[in-house]
Amino acid sequence: MNIQPHRNQPMPVPFPPSPGKIQPLTFVLVHGAWADASFWDRVAAELRRMGHAVHSPEYPGHGGDPNTNVTHSMLSRSVADYIVSHGLRDIVLAGHSFGGTIVQKTAELVPDRLKRLVFMNAFVLKDGESASEEFPPQAQSFFEQLRASSSNDTIMLPFPFYRDAFANLASLEQARWMHERIQPEPAKPLYEKLDLKTFYKLTTPKSYLYLTEDNVMPQGQPNYGWHPHMSSRLGLFRLLKSPGDHMTFVYTHPQWIAWRLYEAGRD
Amino acid sequence: MNIQPHRNQPMPVPFPPSPGKIQPLTFVLVHGAWADASFWDRVAAELRRMGHAVHSPEYPGHGGDPNTNVTHSMLSRSVADYIVSHGLRDIVLAGHSFGGTIVQKTAELVPDRLKRLVFMNAFVLKDGESASEEFPPQAQSFFEQLRASSSNDTIMLPFPFYRDAFANLASLEQARWMHERIQPEPAKPLYEKLDLKTFYKLTTPKSYLYLTEDNVMPQGQPNYGWHPHMSSRLGLFRLLKSPGDHMTFVYTHPQWIAWRLYEAGRD
Amino acid sequence: MNIQPHRNQPMPVPFPPSPGKIQPLTFVLVHGAWADASFWDRVAAELRRMGHAVHSPEYPGHGGDPNTNVTHSMLSRSVADYIVSHGLRDIVLAGHSFGGTIVQKTAELVPDRLKRLVFMNAFVLKDGESASEEFPPQAQSFFEQLRASSSNDTIMLPFPFYRDAFANLASLEQARWMHERIQPEPAKPLYEKLDLKTFYKLTTPKSYLYLTEDNVMPQGQPNYGWHPHMSSRLGLFRLLKSPGDHMTFVYTHPQWIAWRLYEAGRD
């Protein structure tokens, strides 16, 4: 007999008591830095195709907003306002990258509207910390130089850095396409120390989706990195992993990312 | 030309000198805590379909046995007795989770009947250690509270904890189906310190199969975790990895798990 | 609706602005220890099929060369000479395992001919270090015993060790086929401390392809291992990951490895 399944081959199996049906969810997707709400367009389309309601609110200083003089509380407040004004309840609030910090603060503002928090290669800051402090010293200096060289307190990622660190799995033209669409990131919120005492009292269930080829944060370091360094701050959380770098797979593998977000968000 | 293979696509390739034939093996599969021998049913069926002989003995305090007042030596002794009474030789002795500790002690009892030991996200305790000591302090307290709240010195996992930590890749109904079938686990063997001096003198070949989305033990910690923390105690061992959480994939991906166990167990 | 994609299923997606075309590259592939240039044969064939130019020069002490009394500078010099004598420019210089150290030194010799360096589970030594120093103490003793037992200052890997540590994903016959073709490795270059000051001044772009089931180096250790321990010495680098052990996948999954090398090497 010679039934060797190929590596990584999917195994189509029935499972008791019945194959899973899709549980319709309400997603609120929060993008990160060097991105705008269109970051989620393809993933949102896939989630809607599955039957979910999906919102990806833009927040100040991003998308069409020319104001770069924003504070972190303006960002989380705007997401919370969106949730309230749209009457959203029982939501899966998911953040990518810097969006994790906005998820943390938004959760403090509208805790009774949350079903679950999902972090996708996203910051989970400790109380009193800023996002910038999660970078190793050399990266911190690099970002500070970029910040200092801007005329409006923003940070723009040079293409060679973006291409190898943020879009390592993209083709050159995919990386260029993505990079051409990003705006300089307002720096202030990245350097704000956040009071997260309330966040760490929330009992909202939490999930962490870890894309394993993301090298924006150092891997395998006790004091740095998405997972397990920051994910472990969540206490009990549901872990999922997937291939993927920091930026590319929402564009190239939206059906896959959508499915993992569903697995992260369902009951 | 545009032959971009999709990520994770299997590569069907011939290989010199000839495609691998299945080597028929004799497996003895040892389940872990919060499980009984039926844990292996689907995987065993797949292994048998490949041509292997498969045994999954029940051990005291589990399955139909109402006695919860068991000791660790009763467990390993019963597996060793099963092996001897069935005249099994040249076996691949494989343990999952707490079953790893039983594999360690059973191997001491019947070393001449073993071809290879396989650990699948299983404890590899050091000499003089108990399974409970491998959990970080917070988890230890949690399990001790659960133990203290039982009337018969057992530990039962609350569903929300089980669902996110043990069955993170399952659907809700799959997780419920699994959880409804588990019994409170006799606590004593989890807290027994095991003399493993003989185990660490054995020269039996060893393999470790690591399911990478298992978050029961902290990941990426020097002092905790299935792999590499506990696996590295095996000295030279054959490593295999696969997607999978702690409990779900034996039910949802039995052909896949069976294949990896075969790769772990073959010569 | 029931569109559950199977785990690890590839997602065939169009991507703006257009599906990636293959960028023709010139690869120079440098094999490691216990290997010769034929190590790359299948991968090279796949790369050529994609439209790339591929060179896999043999270096002294390997392949047909009976001289085992070689120095590290003879190895890197021979690769550099090959590059120059063939008039190669704008090359992707890729090394596997010990070949990483040759890539480092060759890069110092012909920096203006390089497009990018690629390390595939390859040593990235720090200045003044030898390859042997990257092994943990127990492995160092093991290799020193093997070296001491040879009559011509070489090291030969015993089959049981090779099978479980170097070829863990191979079938037994595949492992035997590979092992029968290897020669005792000249020991001296493994123990030479390399001056790498020039290497660490090079601005050549770099990539690291990490095959995740490679257990030749301890995994998850701060002071040992291919990735992130050695990879992080590259500074900014493009990370890729793939299933695979240390030796097998170039034979069993050459199309897959070729594709990942292309992803590592393209602009």
Contacts of C23 in chain A (CB under 8 A): 172
Residue B212: pLDDT above 70?
yes
Give B151's contacts (C-beta < 8 A, 6+ positions apart). none
Q: Rounded to an integer, what is the distance from CA A29 to the centroid of its chain?
A: 8
Q: What is the pLDDT of residue C20?
A: 58
Residue C90 has which token pair? 């704008």
Quote the pLDDT of residue B256. 86
Indicate which of A245, A253, A260 best probes the interface with C, i.e. most C CBs within 10 Å of its own CB.
Answer: A253
Inter-chain residue contact C228 with A220, CB threshold 8 Å: yes
What pLDDT sits at residue B158?
Answer: 97
Which chain C residues have a beta carbon less than 8 Å from that of A210? none
pLDDT of residue B232: 97
Q: Do B5 and C254 touch (CB under 8 A)?
A: no
Q: Which two tokens stand for residue C164?
A: 């479980």
Give CA–CA dist C182/C197, Å, rounded: 33
Alpha helices, DSSP H, located in chain C = 41-50, 72-85, 99-109, 137-148, 159-161, 172-180, 188-191, 249-252, 254-265
The pLDDT, as a whole number, for residue A13 is 39
Please tell me if residue C5 touches chain B, with a CB cutoff of 8 Å: no
- Tell me if chain A has a CB within 8 Å of the CB of C138: no
Closest Cβ–Cβ partner in B13, B23, B263 for C252? B13
Residues of B in contact with A4 (CB under 8 A): 19-20, 22, 259
Query: Measured between alpha carbons, how far is B189 from B132 in angstroms, rounded to an integer?
Result: 9
B vs C, Cβ pairs < 8 A, gives 93
pLDDT tens for A50-87 read 999 999 999 999 998 999 999 999 999 999 999 999 99
B45 lies within 8 A of chain A by CB: no
Terminal Cα-to-Cα distance of chain C (whole angstroms):
41
* B236 part of contact set with chain C, CB < 8 Å: yes
Task: Note the residue count of chain B.
Answer: 267
Number of domains in chain C: 1
What chain A residue is nearest to C207 in terms of C-alpha separation? Answer: A164
Of B19, B174, B213, the CB nearest to A240: B213
Q: Do A6 and B10 touch (CB under 8 A)?
A: yes
C223 close to A (CB below 8 A): no
pLDDT number for residue A19: 47
Q: Percent of chain B scored above 90 by pLDDT?
A: 87
**Dist CA B26 CA B93 (whole Å):** 9
Q: Are strands B91-97 and B53-55 parallel, antiparallel or unpaired?
A: unpaired
pLDDT at B20: 58
Which segments within B16-128 are labelled E, that is strand? 26-30, 53-55, 91-97, 114-122
Q: What is the pLDDT of residues B88-102, one digit of tens each?
A: 999 999 999 999 999
- Closest partner residue to A164 (CB to CB) among C2, C3, C205 is C205
Contact C18 A171 (CB under 8 A): no
Minimal Cα distance from A246: which residue of C?
C239
Tell me which residue in B5, B23, B253 faces C256 most closely, judged by beta carbons. Answer: B5
In DSSP terms, C110 is beta-bridged to none
At A256 the pLDDT is 86
Residue C248: its chain A contacts at CB < 8 A? none
CB distance C190 to C157 below 8 Å: no
* Dist CA A104 CA C205 (whole Å): 36
Percent of chain C with pLDDT over 70: 93
pLDDT band at B6 (very low <50, low <70, confident <90, very high): very low
Please calculate the CA angle A195-A197-A199 and round it to the nearest 5 degrees: 100
Mean pLDDT over residues B169-187, rounded?
93
d(C-alpha C249, C-alpha C256), whole Å = 8
Residue to mutate among B8, B11, B22, B48, with most A CBs inside 10 A, is: B8
- Stretch C209-219: mean pLDDT, rounded? 96
Report the pLDDT value the prediction gives residue B17, as an integer from 0 to 100.
41
CA distance B111 to C162: 24
ipTM of the complex as predicted: 0.92
Q: Are the Cβ atoms of B172 and A16 closer than 8 angstroms? A: no
Q: How far apart are CA C133 and CA C121, in angstroms?
A: 16
* Averaged pLDDT score across all residues of chain C: 92
Residues in B closer than 8 angstroms to A267, CB to CB, are: 172
Task: Please give the pLDDT value at position A20.
Answer: 58
| Burial class of residue A176 in the structure, from the number of CB atoms within 10 Å of its CB (0-12 exposed, 13-18 middle, 19+ buried) | middle
| C-beta atoms of C256 and B2 within 8 A | no
CATH number at residue A222: 3.40.50.1820
Tell me which chains share at least 3 CB pairs under 8 Å with chain B.
Answer: A, C
3 state DSSP class of C17: coil
pLDDT of res. C191: 98
Q: Does B263 touch chain A (CB under 8 A)?
A: no
CA closest to B237 among chain C residues: C164
Residues of B in Cβ contact (< 8 Å) with C259: 4-5
State the Cα–Cα distance between residues A259 and C6, nearest whole angstrom.
10
* Cβ–Cβ contact C2 with A under 8 A: yes
Cα distance between residue A26 and residue A58, in whole Å? 17
C251, pLDDT greater than 50: yes
Question: What is the extent of the structural domain holding B33?
Answer: 5-13+21-265
Partner A contacted by B16 (CB < 8 A):
no
How far is the alpha carbon of C253 from chain B, nearest alpha carbon, in Å?
Answer: 6
C263 contact residues in A (CB cutoff 8 A): 169
Q: Is-contact C117 C110, C-beta < 8 A?
A: no
Kindly state the DSSP code that residue A134 receives in the 8-state scheme: G
pLDDT for position A2: 32
List, for residues A105-117, the tens digit of each pLDDT value: 999 999 999 999 9
**How far is CA C74 from each of CA C60, C97, C107, C200, rounded to the nearest angstrom?**
7, 18, 14, 21
Place of tokens 């990386």: A175
Residues of chain A with confidence (pLDDT) below 70: 1-20
Q: Give the chain B residue whose CA is nearest to the CA of C46.
A: B3
Query: What are the CA-CA distances from residue B209 to residues B262, C124, C126, C159 (Å)?
Result: 10, 28, 32, 21
Residues of chain B found within 8 Å of residue C12, distances taken between Cβ atoms: 6
Is A168's CB within 8 Å of C2's CB?
no
Q: Which helix (H) or strand (E) holds B175?
A: helix B172-180
Q: In Å, how far is A1's CA from the nearest CA of chain C?
A: 15
Q: Are A131 and A140 in contact (CB under 8 A)?
A: no
Q: In this complex, which of B8, B49, B254 lies closest to A8 when CB atoms are compared?
A: B8
**Sign of the C-alpha dihedral computed for residues B149, B219, B32 and C218 taken in this order:** negative
CB-nearest to C10 from B3, B8, B205 is B8
B159 touches chain A (CB under 8 A): no
Q: Which of A212, A215, A254 sits opposite C13 (nearest CB)?
A: A254
- Give the one of B12, B168, B174 whose C-beta lies nearest to A238's C-beta: B168
Q: Does C66 touch chain A (CB under 8 A)?
A: no
pLDDT value at B21 more than 90: no
| pTM of the predicted structure, to 2 decimals | 0.94
Q: What are the chain C neighbours of A212 within 8 Å (beta carbons)?
A: 241
- The number of C-alpha atoms within 13 Å of B199 and in the hemisphere containing its C-beta is 23
What is the pLDDT at residue C6? 37
